[in-house]
Amino acid sequence: MAESGPSLALDHTVRTAMRDLAGASGAAWLDGPMHALADLGGPLPAGIALAAAALFATVRTRRAYPIAIAAGSVLVVMIAVIGGKDLIGRPGPSESPVPADGWGFFPSGHTATSTVCYGIAALLLGRVGSARAGRYWATGAAVLCFLIGFALLWCDYHWLADVLASWALCAIVLRAAARVADAGGLRPRPPAAPPSPSPRGTPPSCSR
């Protein structure tokens, strides 16, 4: 990833295409929204979303499982991302050398932060709500994370492989978090059964 590899040619091809697209006539108005989307991958907005979802799920379930799942997932991703950046030391799209005391660009920290935070938030909210609501949360989180990854490429902050690696890492963590939630009994509520109809002609009973 730092010097040679089969993905580097694809990285350069995608970067050139994104630079051409960003510089195309009529696309300048997208620059502001793309930078705003990239900022949503930062630790502050993503962390606030995850903290709110974990707190809400904890209150609803009256159990500490949601907070433990959220904290554990973020910790695993943070260790993996920092370790990868430090060990691999890949330069960013500007291809400036990575300082001796700095971190590389592989994998993408913003992509990993957004995916694990919004993904776990959607998982927790889906587990304390209905199955249908859970599908909506999951779809919304997936779309948002895709847009953030696309914005990072548009803004020339990361290579394609940086983004894909973080998505792959977070997919493993999200899968593991879902298994932990299942083991802890955090599952979507089943649909409420309709009330049984009273026999025709029989008035409802009342208690004194």
pLDDT on residue 208: 47
| Radius of gyration, CA atoms only, the chain | 22
pLDDT on residue 124: 95
Three-state SS annotation for 136-152: HHHHHHHHHHHHHHHHH
For the chain, which ranges sit under pLDDT 50?
207-208
pLDDT on residue 197: 59
pLDDT on residue 201: 52
* Interval 71-104: pLDDT, tens: 999 999 999 999 999 988 888 888 777 777 788 8
> Of 114, 102, 94, 106, which is closest to residue 161 (Cα–Cα)?
106
Cβ-contact 106, 90 below 8 angstroms:
yes
pLDDT on residue 189: 53
